[in-house]
Structure 1
Amino acid sequence: MSRFFRYWLLGSVLLGLLLSACSAPREQCAALACAAWLVLCIPAWQHYRQRQRCPALPSDAIWLAYASQGGQARQLAERSLAQLQAGGCRAVLVSLDRLRPQQLSQARQLLLLASTYGEGEAPDTAQRFAQQLDRQSLSLPGLEYAVLALGDRRYRHFCAFGRRLDQRLQQLGAQPLQACLDLDRGDPAVLRQWQQLLSRLAGHAPFSDWQAPDYQPVQLLQRHCLNPGSSASPAFQLRLQIPPGSHWQAGDILEVGPCHAPAQIDALLRQLGLDGEQVQADGHSLHWHLSRRQLPAPEQLADCRSPADLMALPRLAHRDYSLASLPADGCLELLVRLHQYGDGNLGCASGWLCRHAEVGSLLDVRLRANPGFQLPPDSGPLILIGNGTGLAGLLAHLREREQRGQAGHWLLFGERQAAHDLFYAEQLQAWQRSGHLARLDLAFSRDQDSPMYVQHRLREAADDLRLWLQRGASLLVCGSLQGMGEEIEALLHGLLGDQQVQALRLAGRYRRDLY
């Protein structure tokens, strides 16, 4: 029995006793009883409506909350729910008008899809939630969240409500899973970025793009292994042709459409008794199409007996790679780790880029802006922290600052062995000599008895970190989320305090690109 119902029942009993002791005429007692009963029922009805409006949500599920004016945010939230559930992830869907800010303390992960209405206002269904969130003093350090802000860039208050939610949640101590995404009229590139987040939350589950990909074919110019002899998986530097008319800046992403190994496709076509050279309506061969699609499981092969069946298979999802180069470098430069599973099979995208695609062949790519990892020109000296292939995104920022004549940065980088895994050693050493890098701290986990990671180097330099930040430095972190990214985040909170970390994030001086 709830506390409210106990109080309501006690009030009813007291009312009965009061009326029974009353010496007024029977008709007056009856009228008083009816009026009093109605007064007692009003809060009961309000309590019932509040319970209906604010359903109990499981804390171990991902909460997908939407604020929709015309239905687009709800539609995208439903598609997000379907992708998470298809990846085996527990998730629940709720409209913001059925959610109270106090409930957020019970959630672990929250995904918000929010439209903007009128002059930067919340949609009608979300105004109550927005007002309560602004007024209430909550503490949400245990909440991880992400915001997809829907809007139209032609209007002055573009994505204002979604951005407001993002800023308020950071003020309350919640931890962003990634920078707020501004969706301009259903921009496919932003939707793909949102889908990548959903895939990561579901354990990197495969998915298909909601909108058909619009790749550009570019030539693979060079491929070079950077760490021969290393105990780690091979890491490759790749250089690709720049698509005509392309522009990007430090922090941006190259999306790559992967393909299966040609030998794997040949074997499947032989098994199905189909001619891979058969040309389809768009001019490409059946082999070309099948290599770019999610292959059927063995038990599904009976349903894939014709080219039309194979053409109906979903397209392989793209993979994101941080760009190490700038347009002035004359190529798209990537740093890719070859992933190998326990059974010996290679990762689909890394296997394609590092092993199966021949130098000189065409790759499917598209450039995507990544505002969450970009910096304005006047962002002060940079403190760059990364491990492994995360160095690529940090190199682009160092190259951009070099082009602008801005020197005096600090790089903290971690890998396995100094003898094999110091990627771009000559470039880093040259920057040290020129003063472009004022400081270079390296951590190699396998070069001593006790593992040394980049987060250990940062802890050792805690006083210098505070001093650099006091002088206006910006902090960039790029690399693996699990391990390095999570530990750097916790370490910064411990060294600087929650308030300063949130202040850096809100000022755009703390940015992360983690995978």
Structure 2
Amino acid sequence: MSPTRLFAAACVVAVWLLLCLWAWRRARRHQASQARALAALSLNADGGSDSDAVLIAYASQTGYAEALAEQTAQSLRAGGLTVHVASLGQLDVARLSGQSPAYRRVLFVVSTYGEGDPPDAAAAFASQMQAAPSRALAGVQVAVLALGDSEYTRFCGFGHQLNDWLHAQGATPLFDMVEVDNGDPAALRHWQHHLSLLTGRSDLPDWQAPDYEPWRLAARTLQNPGSAGGPCYLLTLTPPAHGKPSWLAGDIAEIGPRLERGGPMQAHREYSIASLPEEGAIDLLVRQMPGADGGLGVGSGWLTQVAQVGDQIDLRVRTNRNFHAPDDGRPMILVGNGTGLAGLRALIKARRAAGHRRNWLIFGERNAAHDAFCRADIDVWKADGTLERVDTVYSRDQAQRRYVQHVLREQADALRAWVADGAAIYVCGSLQGMASGVDAALQDVLGDDALQALLHAGRYRRDVY
């Protein structure tokens, strides 16, 4: 054999050996990681560890869910949280439940195998789900990242099965389930957005480089002069000259904010779109929020103070399929507070354009004299019949605080009648306080089984943050 061939053969053997070494070391690291996770689970179950730690449980068939679980853990650790990561196959229901659960917060990152089945490694846990005692997870806060392929009939089937089971076991959602279709980067950005809210750190870096378009800030109007709350602005953003951007009511605008004009871009922020494409611009309803340093938050500061009318705003639209309006004319009950009116405003506009007039708006804010956001729009919709019914509640206009959930309980008979007529319930606004209060009120008025049925039928939808 010639020296050249000998050298080539030696190179092939060397590369093969290096690949074997790499695979062996990777397997050893994975085994060590699994062992550490199991030890942490056992320690927490015995009450010997930090119950404030976040558990990330993954169910993976190809390794993608595991990789996303590790990325999720990195983001939470960057936000200062203690995190443990484990395969769902390492867990049993007993580790998650009990009067003093080992973990108060659990994030699930799960894929679906075939037509709605759990990954092989999660089959044992899925079997235990069927035999779990009722309300076993009361007191546990959860969230689910469901991975799937929409070409399958049961898209994200195991994720939905797990999410339904968690809800039935009394777990409280940290935020609503996020579906990811074939690794959709927009859905993963939405998951990252929730992780930022969970850590209280809005500066967590994006997992993927942003791909924005240059929009322009065309107008900015204060909506609540004299309010006891933070100033809230209605912003109008016009698209770039090329193309005609499209979106649906319920979709989200992702903004690349800056600390100063011309400064470097920060991690993205999300805002509900309050307008329709036919209007030729994106409207946003943005309240000034305090930042960790005592100044304004990066996103609200950029949009309401730093950027000036005429400045470029880096923006991309994210589809939010779970909050799109029904295709038919069924009744709609739209519930929200504060800047949550933005998402509801776009839905009402879409219903008006389609000629669907059986709409009931329930909206809450602080004081009627100062916080009646978009009052002119609502007055027009009431006058022309777009809104069959409007209930506004202002929490500080009476000695006893009242919120939208109080209206739902007070109007229980009307609520049940609308639901019996096929109404869909859409909720938009703050996760803390409002969303949980509305959910509890709906359970009290309609019953848990009926609310679950609405959820499964796509008649109970939320965009909360």
TM-score by length of 1: 0.75
Cα distance in 1, alignment partners of residues 80 and 393 from structure 2: 36
Cα distance in 2, alignment partners of residues 73 and 343 from structure 1: 35
Residue 368 of structure 1 and its aligned partner are, at CA, apart by 0.4
Identity %: 48
Kindly provide the amino acid, as one letter, of the partner of residue 93 in structure 2: P
Structure 2 counterpart of 1:462 = 412
Task: Kindly indicate whether residue 138 of structure 2 is the aligned counterpart of residue 126 of structure 1.
Answer: no
C-alpha distance after superposition, 1:181-204 (max 9, x if no partner)? 222332221111111111122234
SS at match of 1:321: strand
8 Å contact from structure 2 (residues 202, 267) kept in 1: no
Residue 332 of structure 1 and its aligned partner are, at CA, apart by 0.5
8 Å contact from structure 2 (residues 330, 358) kept in 1: no
Task: Kindly indicate whether residue 116 of structure 2 is the aligned counterpart of residue 116 of structure 1.
Answer: no
Structure 1 counterpart of 2:191 = 194
Structure 1 counterpart of 2:220 = 223
Alignment of 1:243-392 (within 5 A): 244-262=243-261, 288=262, 290-292=263-265, 316-340=266-290, 345-378=295-328, 380-392=330-342
Task: Kindly indicate whether residue 405 of structure 2 is the aligned counterpart of residue 418 of structure 1.
Answer: no
Residue 386 of structure 1 and its aligned partner are, at CA, apart by 1.1
Residue 379 of structure 1 and its aligned partner are, at CA, apart by 6.6
CA distance change for structure 1 residues 217 and 468 in 2, over 3 Å: closer, same or farther?
A: same
CA distance change for structure 1 residues 255 and 52 in 2, over 3 Å: closer, same or farther?
A: closer
More displaced stretch, 446-455 vs 355-364? 446-455
SS at match of 2:322: helix
C-alpha distance after superposition, 1:128-154 (max 9, x if no partner)? 212222354542343332221223445
CA distance change for structure 1 residues 340 and 155 in 2, over 3 Å: closer, same or farther?
A: closer
CA distance change for structure 1 residues 344 and 120 in 2, over 3 Å: closer, same or farther?
A: closer
Kindly provide the amino acid, as one letter, of the partner of residue 224 in structure 1: T
Structure 2 counterpart of 1:25 = none
Task: Kindly indicate whether residue 87 of structure 2 is the aligned counterpart of residue 88 of structure 1.
Answer: no
C-alpha distance after superposition, 1:311-357 (max 9, x if no partner)? xxxxx211110011111121111001112459752211111111111
CA distance change for structure 1 residues 456 and 242 in 2, over 3 Å: closer, same or farther?
A: same
1:498 to 438, 444, 448: 448
8 Å contact from structure 1 (residues 87, 205) kept in 2: no
Cα distance in 2, alignment partners of residues 480 and 169 from structure 1: 22
Structure 1 counterpart of 2:4 = none
C-alpha distance after superposition, 1:375-426 (max 9, x if no partner)? 3313721111111111001111111111111102111111122222111112
Structure 1 counterpart of 2:463 = 513
8 Å contact from structure 1 (residues 112, 146) kept in 2: yes
Cα distance in 1, alignment partners of residues 127 and 254 from structure 2: 39
8 Å contact from structure 2 (residues 148, 182) kept in 1: yes
Structure 2 counterpart of 1:281 = none
Cα distance in 2, alignment partners of residues 91 and 53 from structure 1: 10
Kindly provide the amino acid, as one letter, of the partner of residue 404 in structure 2: V
Residue 212 of structure 1 and its aligned partner are, at CA, apart by 0.7
SS at match of 1:406: coil
8 Å contact from structure 2 (residues 257, 268) kept in 1: yes
C-alpha distance after superposition, 1:414-444 (max 9, x if no partner)? 1122222111112111111222211111112
8 Å contact from structure 1 (residues 69, 123) kept in 2: yes
Residue 237 of structure 1 and its aligned partner are, at CA, apart by 0.7
Cα distance in 2, alignment partners of residues 251 and 218 from structure 1: 20
More displaced stretch, 80-89 vs 443-452? 443-452
More displaced stretch, 152-161 vs 487-496? 152-161
8 Å contact from structure 1 (residues 55, 98) kept in 2: no
CA distance change for structure 1 residues 154 and 411 in 2, over 3 Å: closer, same or farther?
A: closer
2:58 to 66, 74, 90: 66
CA distance change for structure 1 residues 498 and 151 in 2, over 3 Å: closer, same or farther?
A: closer
Structure 2 counterpart of 1:211 = 208
CA distance change for structure 1 residues 341 and 112 in 2, over 3 Å: closer, same or farther?
A: closer
Cα distance in 2, alignment partners of residues 431 and 390 from structure 1: 18
CA distance change for structure 1 residues 494 and 90 in 2, over 3 Å: closer, same or farther?
A: farther
Structure 2 counterpart of 1:270 = none
SS at match of 2:214: strand
Alignment of 1:422-437 (within 5 A): 422-437=372-387
Cα distance in 1, alignment partners of residues 215 and 328 from structure 2: 34
Unmatched tracts of structure 2, length 5 or more: 1-37, 45-49
Kindly provide the amino acid, as one letter, of the partner of residue 196 in structure 1: H
C-alpha distance after superposition, 1:70-113 (max 9, x if no partner)? 22111111111121122122332110111113333234332111
CA distance change for structure 1 residues 53 and 69 in 2, over 3 Å: closer, same or farther?
A: farther
More displaced stretch, 335-344 vs 410-419? 335-344
Cα distance in 1, alignment partners of residues 331 and 258 from structure 2: 40
2:424 to 474, 493, 501: 474
1:182 to 179, 194, 201: 179
Residue 446 of structure 1 and its aligned partner are, at CA, apart by 2.9
Cα distance in 1, alignment partners of residues 154 and 375 from structure 2: 46
8 Å contact from structure 2 (residues 145, 191) kept in 1: yes
SS at match of 1:339: coil
C-alpha distance after superposition, 1:42-80 (max 9, x if no partner)? xxxxxxxxx989735465332210011222111111111
Residue 158 of structure 1 and its aligned partner are, at CA, apart by 4.1
8 Å contact from structure 2 (residues 333, 426) kept in 1: yes
8 Å contact from structure 1 (residues 221, 241) kept in 2: yes
State the structure with bigger RCO (CA 8 A, min sep 6), 1 or 2: 1
Task: Kindly indicate whether residue 70 of structure 2 is the aligned counterpart of residue 78 of structure 1.
Answer: yes
SS at match of 1:437: coil
8 Å contact from structure 2 (residues 275, 281) kept in 1: yes
Residue 211 of structure 1 and its aligned partner are, at CA, apart by 0.8
TM-score by length of 2: 0.83
8 Å contact from structure 2 (residues 365, 393) kept in 1: yes
SS at match of 2:247: coil
Cα distance in 2, alignment partners of residues 136 and 344 from structure 1: 46
Cα distance in 2, alignment partners of residues 155 and 478 from structure 1: 29
2:438 to 477, 488, 498: 488
Cα distance in 1, alignment partners of residues 143 and 443 from structure 2: 19
| Structure exhibiting the larger radius of gyration computed from Cα positions | 1
Residue 235 of structure 1 and its aligned partner are, at CA, apart by 0.9
Cα distance in 1, alignment partners of residues 434 and 328 from structure 2: 28
Residue 482 of structure 1 and its aligned partner are, at CA, apart by 1.8
SS at match of 1:475: strand
Unmatched tracts of structure 1, length 5 or more: 1-50, 263-287, 293-315
Task: Kindly indicate whether residue 162 of structure 2 is the aligned counterpart of residue 165 of structure 1.
Answer: yes
Cα distance in 1, alignment partners of residues 163 and 292 from structure 2: 40
CA distance change for structure 1 residues 498 and 144 in 2, over 3 Å: closer, same or farther?
A: farther
Number of residue-to-residue matches in the alignment:
416
Cα distance in 2, alignment partners of residues 451 and 137 from structure 1: 37
C-alpha distance after superposition, 1:11-35 (max 9, x if no partner)? xxxxxxxxxxxxxxxxxxxxxxxxx
8 Å contact from structure 1 (residues 173, 498) kept in 2: no
CA distance change for structure 1 residues 371 and 103 in 2, over 3 Å: closer, same or farther?
A: farther
CA distance change for structure 1 residues 167 and 215 in 2, over 3 Å: closer, same or farther?
A: same
